[in-house]
Amino acid sequence: GITEEELRAKYDIPVELNDAVVAYIRFFQTDAREHFSRWLARSTKWLPSMHGILEKQGVPVDLVYLSMIESGFNAYAYSPAKAAGLWQFMVGTSRRYGIKTDFWLDERRDPIKATEAASKYLKDLRERYHGDWYLAWAGYNAGEGKVDKAIRRESTRDFWRMMTKGRTLRAETKHYVPKLIAAALIAKHPERFGFHVEYEEPFDSDEVVIPDATDLKVIADAAGISVEKVRELNPELRRFCTPPGEFTMRLPKGSKDQFAANFEKVGPEERLRFTQHKVEKGEPLAKIARAYGVSEAAIMRTNGLKSYRQVKVGKVIVIPVGKASRGLLAGAQLEDRRGRGYAQARTPVQKSVAAATAAAVRAKDAERMSIKHAVYVVKPGDTLWGIAAKFSTTVARIKRLNGMSGRRGRGLQAGQRLSVPEQS
């Protein structure tokens, strides 16, 4: 057993043993035992960094157990109500505390930024309810409006009275506070409650600045790690690449120097190249694809589109171009499927297909001048696709180098001479 005095001595949040709390302790020990064991195992990954942030913000460090019951300490947790991350923020609430959610990033999944935002939100809730943490936690779960309404309707600020006799708060919110207390009690005394788990290593990393949008595979190779490890350390990333512009990302502790040395050897054109385009009237997807020299399928995969009908006037779409984007042409998926939903890209865009075409012409001229070419003599049975594969390039690039478009690009004749990028 555990006494009330022991409880009060070991926590900096209010805890008490009552029937509702005991019921949740038994639930975690029985029906939810497997789930709770996983939560405990993951807890050590996040507790050290969370404790430091909460302490810096001037709120109790034991508020980490709110994250435990919200997400099970899973940075990728995503609820049916579209809350996300360790602290299960809704988009609207998170934006009030400086969290960005757009096409490229969902910072609700950033363990550091989300914890900073959650600590500020909880501090505001504590002040709103005059230091009453039970009401603050209820407000975190249900929203301030619901708790305010319960206080007015039931003429009380006693959470336990609202729970047992009130009719305003939902059952989920009524159970939220005892659930949090039960989780905190077990998490600090797991063996006494019959839990024996293998704990994960603490989340520890080096930070590096990526100068512009870069494929995660390029970053992983430079750091000597897997793409999965890059994603694990940077769960806020929604795509297969970092966002446009400078981006600070985390790599395993001790890998910073190796990454810097290897990344320096990777030319900008090898990292990633894409642009963005705002769809205007009279611009079907096929026309846009031709203007940029990429396939319609690549554009659809890049933007997570399932139908051509989704390409509407005014929509901003991302266009994969250049050497490092070839994986998309071969069928790679840009979207990180662990993140859901899409937001509009906000960086500068090409104004029209006409502007895009002009840009493509300039790019074609520059390419002809700067890249070494070889001459390939077409053999019977050759196709543009087969030649492109042989020279590790794309059909669109061969067409650009040889001024081929429309019908002229559909057929090849034996003996025809083509310029192709020289293999290094």
**Given a cut of 90, is residue 361 above it in pLDDT?**
no
Question: Using an 8 Å Cβ cutoff, are 393 and 357 in contact?
Answer: no
What residues have CB less than 8 Å from 15, skipping those under 6 apart? 7, 8, 21, 181, 184, 185
Mean pLDDT, residues 301-321: 86
CA 135, chain centre distance (Å): 31
Q: Which stretch of 100-104, 329-333, 373-377 has the lowest confidence by average pLDDT? A: 329-333
Beta-ladder partners of 346:
none
Q: CATH says 272-362 is which class?
A: alpha beta
pLDDT by residue (tens digit) across 146-174? 999 999 999 999 999 999 999 999 999 99
Whole-number pLDDT of residue 408: 47
**Given a cut of 80, is residue 349 above it in pLDDT?**
no
Whole-number pLDDT of residue 149: 98
Please give the positions annotated as active site.
Answer: 70
What predicted TM-score, i.e. pTM, was given to this entire model?
A: 0.71
**Given a cut of 50, is residue 197 above it in pLDDT?**
yes
Delimit the CATH 3.10.350.10 region(s) of the chain.
272-362, 371-421
Whole-number pLDDT of residue 422: 63
Delimit the CATH 1.10.530.10 region(s) of the chain.
4-193
Query: For all residues of the chain together, what is the average pLDDT?
Result: 85
Question: Which sign does the torsion angle of CA 280, 286, 290, 295 carry?
Answer: positive
CA 291, chain centre distance (Å): 31
* CATH superfamily of this structure's domain 371-421: LysM domain (3.10.350.10)
pLDDT by residue (tens digit) across 68-127? 999 999 999 999 999 999 999 999 999 999 999 988 899 999 999 999 999 999 999 999
Pick the CATH number of 4-193 from 1.10.150.130, 1.10.530.10, 3.40.50.1220, 1.10.3720.10: 1.10.530.10
pLDDT by residue (tens digit) across 272-295? 767 778 899 999 999 998 888 888
Q: Which stretch of 38-42, 164-168, 264-268, 317-321 has the lowest confidence by average pLDDT? A: 317-321
